[in-house]
C-alpha cells in the first residue's frame, strides 16, 4: 500500500472535490482518479460515491479515513521526535561537585542556553561519587566529576587534568620545616567515597606522608575555609585556591606530580542524544578558557 495513494485519498476526503484535491496536491485530476482507484483495488472496497456532482465517502471510506488520519498523525509525531534528536530540547539535568557548579557552570550554562534556548537546565550540586550514581541511575543526564570513571555503562570525556597541592596559611608555616608542619596540624581532605580516594593515597605516598590526624570534609569549599581558619593543612586542587595563593593568604607546601582527571560523563547509550551531545561538546570546548578566567 503506497503512502502516496493514502495521502491523496485523505485530501480528497477532506474536500470531497477532486478538482480542489488536485490543486492542493499538484496533480492532474486524472492522476487523482487513478490513485484512488488503485487504493480501492488494493483494499477491495469502494471508498467514494458520486451522486450527481457531489462526492461522498462510503462506509468503507469513512473507516479508511479514520485510520489514515491516525497513520499520518503518528508519522508526523515520529518525524518531530527524529528532528528533536538533531535539535536539543526538553529537560537536561546536570550534576557536578560544588566547585564546578560555582566556578565553571555559570559561564557554560549562559553560553549553552544562548545556543539552545529550548532546553530547560537543572543543576545539582553533589560529590563526584554521587554524580556518578545519579548518571548511572538516570537521575541526571550529564555529570562532571573529578577522578576516574570505572563504570562500564558510563561514557567519560576528559576535559582537564587537575593539579593538587598541600596548602597552609603563612602563620601555620612560620619557621617550621615541611615535616614539622605536617606533624603539627591535622590533614584536611575529602570524605571517603569522593571518587578521589585512590588518587589521594597515591599523592600522599609520593611524599611518604601518613597523616597522624585526618579531618574529612564533604566539599572543597569546606576544606578551603578550614585551612584558611588554620584548622589543618589542606589537600586541594590548585584551581580552587589560585586567588588565595596569589594574594598570599595560602602557601604551597607541596605540589604533587600526579594529576586528577576531570571528566564530563553520561550513559554510553545516551551520548548521541542531541542535548547531551551538545552540552558535552560545549564543556570540552570551553573548559580551559573558563579555567583561565578564574
d(CA 140, CA 137): 8
Question: Residue 268: is its pLDDT beyond 80?
Answer: yes
- Average pLDDT on 263-292 reads 92
Q: 150-198, pLDDT tens digit by residue?
A: 899 999 999 999 999 999 999 999 999 999 999 999 999 988 767 888 9
DSSP label of 148: -
User: Domain span at residue 139?
Assistant: 90-160+262-292
The verdict on 30 and 109 lying in the same domain is: no
The verdict on 65 and 134 lying in the same domain is: no
CA neighbours closer than 13 Å in the CB half-sphere of residue 39? 24
Cβ–Cβ under 8 Å, residues 72 and 5: no
Q: What is the pLDDT of residue 78?
A: 86
By percentage, how much of the chain surpasses pLDDT 70?
98
Confidence of residue 80 (pLDDT cuts 50, 70, 90): confident
Q: What is the pLDDT of residue 86?
A: 65
- Average pLDDT over the chain, rounded to whole? 91
- DSSP per residue, the chain: --HHHHHHHHHHHHHT-HHHHHHHHT--HHHHHHHHHHHHHHHTS--EEEETTEEEE-HHHHHHHHHHHHHHHHHHHHHHHHHHHHS--EEEEEEE-HHHHHHTHHHHHHHHHHH-TTEEEEEEE--HHHHHHHHHTTS-SEEEEES----TTEEEEEEEEEEEEEEE-HHHHTT--HHHHHHHSPEEEEPTTSS-HHHHHHHHHHTT---SSEEEESSHHHHHHHHHTTSSEEEEETTTTHHHHHHTSSEEEEEEEEEEEEEEEEEGGGTTSHHHHHHHHHHHHHHHHHHHT-
Phi, psi for 150 (deg, rounded to 5): -115, 5
More confident residue, 218 or 186: 186
Last residue of a domain, one of 39, 55, 86: 86
Confidence of residue 142 (pLDDT cuts 50, 70, 90): very high
Q: Residue for cell digits 561519587? A: 129
The verdict on 22 and 57 lying in the same domain is: yes
Residue 266: name the closest of 178, 70, 135, 174 by CA.
135
Task: Name the domain count of the chain.
Answer: 3
The verdict on 155 and 36 lying in the same domain is: no
The verdict on 280 and 246 lying in the same domain is: no
Q: Give the least confident one: 6-15, 222-231, 255-264.
A: 6-15
The verdict on 78 and 125 lying in the same domain is: no
Q: 235-248, pLDDT tens digit by residue?
A: 999 989 999 999 99
Q: What is the pLDDT of residue 291?
A: 82
The verdict on 63 and 42 lying in the same domain is: yes
Last residue of a domain, one of 39, 54, 86: 86
DSSP label of 141: S
- Average pLDDT on 15-19 reads 88
The verdict on 133 and 271 lying in the same domain is: yes
Q: What is the pLDDT of residue 84?
A: 62
Question: Residue 293: is its pLDDT beyond 80?
Answer: no
Q: What is the pLDDT of residue 281?
A: 93
The verdict on 143 and 283 lying in the same domain is: yes
Amino acid at each position: 500500500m503506497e503512502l502516496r495513494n493514502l495521502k491523496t485519498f485523505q485530501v480528497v476526503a477532506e474536500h470531497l472535490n477532486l478538482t480542489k484535491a488536485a490543486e492542493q496536491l499538484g496533480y492532474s485530476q486524472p492522476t487523482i482518479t487513478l490513485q484512488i482507484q488503485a487504493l480501492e483495488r488494493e483494499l477491495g472496497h469502494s471508498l467514494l460515491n458520486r451522486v450527481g456532482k457531489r462526492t461522498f465517502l462510503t462506509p468503507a471510506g469513512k473507516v479508511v479515513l479514520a485510520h489514515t488520519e491516525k497513520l499520518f498523525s503518528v508519522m508526523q509525531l515520529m518525524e518531530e521526535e527524529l528532528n528533536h534528536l538533531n535539535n536539543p530540547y526538553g529537560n537536561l539535568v546536570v550534576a557536578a561537585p560544588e566547585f564546578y557548579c560555582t566556578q565553571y557552570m555559570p559561564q557554560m550554562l549562559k553560553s549553552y542556553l544562548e545556543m539552545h534556548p529550548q532546553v530547560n537546565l537543572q543543576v545539582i550540586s553533589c560529590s563526584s561519587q554521587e554524580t556518578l550514581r545519579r548518571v548511572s541511575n538516570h537521575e541526571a543526564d550529564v555529570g562532571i566529576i573529578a577522578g576516574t570513571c570505572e563504570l562500564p555503562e558510563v561514557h567519560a570525556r576528559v576535559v582537564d587534568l587537575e593539579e593538587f597541592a598541600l596548602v597552609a596559611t603563612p602563620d601555620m608555616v612560620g619557621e617550621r620545616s615541611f615535616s614539622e608542619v605536617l606533624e603539627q596540624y591535622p590533614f584536611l581532605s575529602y570524605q571517603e567515597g569522593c571518587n578521589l580516594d585512590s588518587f589521594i593515597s597515591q599523592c600522599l605516598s609520593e611524599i611518604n606522608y601518613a597523616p597522624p590526624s585526618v579531618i574529612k570534609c564533604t566539599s572543597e569549599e569546606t576544606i578551603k575555609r578550614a585551612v584558611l581558619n588554620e584548622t589543618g593543612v589542606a589537600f586541594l586542587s590548585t584551581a580552587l585556591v589560585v586567588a588565595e595563593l596569589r594574594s598570599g593568604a595560602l602557601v604551597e607546601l607541596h605540589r604533587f606530580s600526579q594529576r586528577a582527571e576531570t571528566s564530563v560523563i553520561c550513559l554510553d547509550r545516551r551520548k548521541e542524544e542531541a542535548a547531551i551531545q551538545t552540552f558535552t561538546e560545549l564543556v570540552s570546548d570551553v573548559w580551559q578558557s573558563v579555567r583561565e578566567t578564574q
